[in-house]
Structure 1
Amino acid sequence: MDHRPQAWGRPRDDVYGPYDHSNLPADGANQHTQSPIVTGTSVIAVKFKDGVVIAADNLASYGSLARFTNVKRLLPFSTTSVVGFGGDVSDMQYLTRHLSDLQIQESYSSPGVPRLSAQNLHCYLSKLLYARRNKFDPLWNQVLVAGFDDDDAPFLASADLRGTTFTAPSLATGFGSMLAQPILRKHVPDEASTKELTKEDAIKAIKECLKVLYYRDARSLDVYSIAVVTKDGIDLKEDEKIEQQSWAFADRIKGYGTQTV
């Protein structure tokens, strides 16, 4: 039996004869990403009075296997914005190269002119995602864009593989939309409350969410990247470690429910 992946789902040559390739295009069959395999999980972000804090862990899972533990899913764009990627890693790499080319093009085409704001970048990405969706070849990502809008106000918005956009005082992708958002909404229930949230409190809230995700989401990791976007620039820290983590309570759990030894 032929166990090679390229032979999966094909009739056996020794039983049915050689496979007929005459019906295939000369340059091979079209291949679209329709079922992501290597994926990243939650990206979380919150606005505060002077900017935006955004974070994502460094894990890329191969199905249910925690395969790659050093995948950076936060991409600084120029000195104005940070893009956080959730979803398929190969599509994330495509977008990363695309945005790098765009950044170089912007730098050479308009030197001395203010570069794209986070609001402009988010609009561009949403149109790109929508265009790929219309070709039935979507980019299987949900992105968060953090930075400042054209009026120099903190800006945070998301776009998904269908080109759907959304903006809020706090946003999250993946399981973070269910596990982290309730925590963040306690700090910033509405847009007005972001004016009272300090940078230190915003970072503390994000780190609390990362700890909850590490305990509750099987596709997360205790090593993460975090970026603070202010008018002074981007402060990006990678390979940070979740503090005060402990699984010591596990040895007191017996069976299911709340029984203890």
Structure 2
Amino acid sequence: MNHLPEAWGRPRNDVYGTYDASYLQSSMPNQHTQSPIVTGTSVVALKFNGGVVIAADNLASYGSLARFTNVERLKQVGTHTVVGAGGDISDMQYLHEKLLDSLIIKEEYQNDGHHLRASHIYRYLSKVLYQRRCKFDPLWNTLLVAGWDDGKPFLASADLLGTTFSAPALATGFGAHLAVPLLRRVCPDEAAVENITREQAVDTIEECMKVLFYRDARSLSKYSLAIITGKDVEGAAECEAKNQSWKFAEGIRGYGTQVV
């Protein structure tokens, strides 16, 4: 009996003839990078009068398995920029540790007092993503670049196809469907940014993270949050969604072993 996995489920050669495996032959190399395995979900960001708030949960999912619960998907780049990544974790690590770290080291090595601003880093990342897409070997990420640039808050998005755009309220992954409507209630357009305080922006982002924890099966209650202003970047890696217990389910008829 043939126990090799490639023979499982095939017709018997002695009954139906030799199996034709010619379709398996290819001159191209195997492309394992085209199937993301460990992935992260939403990144949420909002401008306010004086800076930008950005947050991402700390979960990296192996398919549908909540495998890694301490993966920070926000990275400070330079002095006034934070990059948040959703999508494939290995591609995110390549961007963060290989490209961005090398970029900052090369820039700071000159020691000329010049620092890369958020718009510089954003343009660099957008060109990298588009170049990889043109090679048909994309980096499976959607990036949000938040920072303080030229005296005002900066927020923009770039995805694996090289698509780029900017808005005062942005989210990736499932957050594009669930969080963006909540963000636009507070900030419908660029003109509304002047009326949003820091506390209001943080509260809105926290509300979005709580909604995503309830509704997105690939999210986690623990998340990282960063606040970028003209002075510096304030970060917190151990935030947790407020009022995220599931006790409300006890009051639902038919839940558990309760008697109706």
Is the shorter-chain TM-score for this pair beyond 0.5, marking a shared fold? yes
Q: 1:121 to 1:245 in 2, by over 3 A?
A: same
* Alpha-carbon distance in structure 2 between the residues aligned to 1:30 and 1:2: 20
- The count of corresponding residues between Structure 1 and Structure 2 is 247
**Are the counterparts in 2 of residues 32 and 137 from structure 1 also a CA contact under 8 Å?**
no
Q: Tell me how far 1:254 sits from its aligned partner.
A: 3.4
Secondary structure of residue in 2 paired with 1:236: strand
Which runs of 5 or more structure 2 residues have no equivalent in the other structure?
A: none
1:69 aligns with 69
Deviations 1:216-247 (A, max 9, x none): 11100000000000111110110212222221
1: CA distance, partners of 2:219 / 2:229: 27
Read off the aligned partner of 1:206 and give its amino acid letter. I
Aligned partners of 1:49, 1:222: CA distance in 2, in Å?
27
Partner residue in 1 for 2:253: 254
RMSD: 2.6
User: TM-score scaled by structure 1?
Assistant: 0.87
1:81 corresponds to which residue? 81
- Supply the distance in 2 between the matched residues of 1:130 and 1:62 (Cα, whole angstroms): 26
Q: Which has the larger radius of gyration?
A: 2
Task: Say yes or no: does 1:42 pair with 2:36.
Answer: no
**8 Å Cα contact 1:228/1:234 also seen in 2:** yes
- Give the secondary structure class of the aligned counterpart of 2:217: coil
Residue 135 of structure 1 corresponds to which residue in structure 2?
Answer: 135
Q: 1:189 to 1:24 in 2, by over 3 A?
A: closer
Match of 1:190 in 2: 189
Cα distance in structure 1, aligned partners of 2:31 and 2:201: 42
The one-letter amino acid of 1:234's match is V
Q: Which residue of 1 aligns with 2:52?
A: 52
For structure 1, the residue ranges without an aligned partner over 5 or more in a row are none
Q: 1:241 to 1:29 in 2, by over 3 A?
A: same
Superposition deviation, residue 24 in structure 1 = 7.9
- Deviation of 1:32 after TM superposition, in Å, equals 4.7
Partner of 1:172: 171
Percent identity between matched residues is: 57
Match of 2:115 in 1: 115
Name the counterpart of 2:225: 226
TM-score by length of 2: 0.87
